[in-house]
Structure formats: structure tokens, C-alpha cells
Structure 1
Amino acid sequence: MGTPREGAPLAERVEELLAVGGPLPIVAAGDPVLRRLAEPFDGQLEPALLARFVEALRLTMHAAPGVGLAAPQVGVGLRIAVIEDPAPVPDEVRVARGRVPQPFRVLVNPSYEPVGAGRAAFFEGCLSVPGWQAVVARHAEVRLLGLDEHGRTVDEVFTGWPARIVQHETDHLGGTLYLDRAESRSLSSNAAMADLWSQPTPERAASALGFELPGPAV
């Protein structure tokens, strides 16, 4: 089943998606839903349907696999995203990228703001842009504001790789893809990543491909 029918009420469109069962189809770059502002969640899905939709997002994220998934990526223009990262990486990568395990979380109507001036640049990919990665300089630390799936306030500071995930998924809800923020000269296929750019940090790629990395925070 493809993208839910345009113009159908959101609850009806979500029901159509869930009726098939299993992981949901992920929308690829070029679909207009990925470029629209997602609608703030304000009860469009009743609690039982919201819970089913969240569980479907979780299943789809795991199956992809990925560490985050936003509702527009399955064709639903609501400000809802899920994140989870078991961080199964070598210690040198964990240290270089600040990648630590993150439990499953649901982000409803999230926004973020930078904490400090620090920025970090690493290769990043997206389930809606399969087969490619590029270096993105992002805030090294952010404050996340929003709600969880039960309507409870979320106000938390994230650093390192978790901060990157939060920014990536929240950007989706504003119609922004990671490529919009990426160093265009860094764009690399997954095959090139495996053969050339598997280092914990992208300095070698920056030198070879000719792009700049952010300097230390002032």
C-alpha cells in the first residue's frame, strides 16, 4: 500500500495504513509530504489509534533499520516522531561521536533550541534518502521541548549523537531533509562510505572531497 489518500481525514488515513499490518511503507525524497509543515498534533487521533500508530512507527523504524522515524516519512503529516538507538558501535566511534544508547521515545509537537555555540559534523543518512550519506554540521547540544504520547511535558537537554537524532527527526516535521543542511561535496554512496569513509570522524573525507568542517566553539 502506498501513501495514504490525499485529502482524507488524518485518522482515516492512519487507519488505512495500519490495516495492512507489518512495517509501514517509507516515503522517499521527492514526495511532497516530506516538504510540507506537519500539522501540530491536537487529538486528531484518538488515544487507542495514536497508540497503534506509535507502535507501527516503532516497528517500521526497527525493520528499516533506523534510529528515528517521523510521521511524514510514512505519509502522515502530523508532528509526531519516534527515536531509539541501541548504539551498537565500536568504542572509538562511541567516544568520537558521543553515541550512547537511547531508549524508545515518542516526540509529539517537538521543537529544539541550541545550547551553547558548539557544532559537530558527521556523516548522516536518512531512511527517506536510501543509499546515500552526507556530512551535516549540527548543534552539539540542544534543548528539546514538546510532549510525549501521553501528553506529558518533555523538556530535556541532549548532547552528542542523541542531539543529532533529535534535530534530524524534528527537522522532518518542518519539511526539512538532512540534505538541506549537508555539505554537498560530501555526498557519498553507501558503497563509498564502506570503502573510503568508515572512520569515526569525517576529517579524511573533508580533505579528500574538498569541504570545510566547523571549527571549535568560541
Structure 2
Amino acid sequence: MTPDILFLRVFCDANGNHGNVLGVVRDGRAFPGEESRQALARELGLSETVFIDDAHRGIVDIYTPGVRLPFAGYPLVGVAWLLGLERLELPVGSIPVRRADGFTWISARAEWVPPRTLRQYGSTQEVDALEAPEPGEWVYAWAWQDEAAGRVRARGFPGRGDGINEDEATGAAALLLADRLGRAVAVTQGRGSQIMAAPGSDGTTHIGGRVCAVEKPAC
């Protein structure tokens, strides 16, 4: 039986362009073990694939083509938009969700973000000129586009050696950047993905953006 998979474009712009494509398996029971889920994520070849284990309680499971993740930003924003719940449940904790002005937001703690190296550059031109590095550390390269306005230019290089040399939009890294800077940022990542992030008042950081459904997993 063909699995019921929906593809979403997360952190797209106002016209539905750009963004990172996410695969969502609507019924996680079709893939009951980690091995089968990892195999599907590898077959799809997307930055992340989410398996919905309980659509009513918001219990989800996240995979890259190579590993299972305890937390990730853009998959959670995407599945939050899809399910329409007030919370998602992950092993790391409960993820509050809100919606406003066409944006879907989640709130999470910076310590939940897997290791990322935030590497600041002096200009957006330097960031644009970067080549994807060899597999190694996960690098989030960024520069101020307009520091006073909180506008950032960024690119994400997972360094995992799983075929994803550059991530088009990475909510977890934007969350970590906003937490480190202690201020709200509006990030343009990759070819034009739009990510919003801002520290909260309770020790969490909010990340948000637009989401739309797409016909097939193409960026």
C-alpha cells in the first residue's frame, strides 16, 4: 500500500515560493519501527520527514535521511500548521503553538537544539559566496543585512554527509541565533526562505513562518 504522505513547503515567502520541503506521513502506524522510518526518510531524501503518531495529541517523530532527531524547527512549524493543535508533544517536551497573520509559531528551548556552529560573517556577500564545506560540524553562516531592523542573511550547512549539503530553511538554527543575540530576527535563508524568531519571556524562543502544501517534494 502506498503510504499517505503530504508534502509541505515551510518558511516560504508571501507568494508561496522558497521554503524547505517537508514530508509528513499522516499515519505513523504504517511505519511502526525506527528502521522502517529511517528507510523512508532516506528514500525521500528531504531534509526532514515527520511521522504523525497521534494526530489528536500532537505526538510526532522526526527523521533526517540519516538520523532520528529529538527536536527540529521547520518540521514542527510545518506539522503544527497541518494539525491545527495548540501543542505538539516530543520526547524533549511540550511545544506550544500559535497562529497570527498567516504565520504559524512554535515555542521551544534553545537547549533542545542539536549542536550548531553559528558563524558570523562581515557581509551578506560573504555569506552568498560560501561553498558547502566537507562533512563535519553543522554550520549556520550568517551576517547582518540590516542590524538595526534585525534582518539577517543566513545559509545552513548540515555537514552530515547524507546528501543534504545545504538546508534551505532551518528553524532550529534561527531559534538558536535569536536566543544567543537576545533579540528578534527576521532571517532570509537559502534562496529566499523567510524565518522569524524572537526570545520569549519564559526562557523559550519563538520561531515562525508561512507554510503551504505542495504537489511533490521539489524545492
> If each structure's helix is expressed as a fraction of its own residues, which one has the higher value?
1
Greater RCO (Cα-Cα under 8 Å, separation 6 or more): 2
Shorter-chain TM range is under 0.3
Structure possessing the higher radius of gyration over alpha carbons: 1
> If each structure's strand is expressed as a fraction of its own residues, which one has the higher value?
2
TM-score by length of 1: 0.27
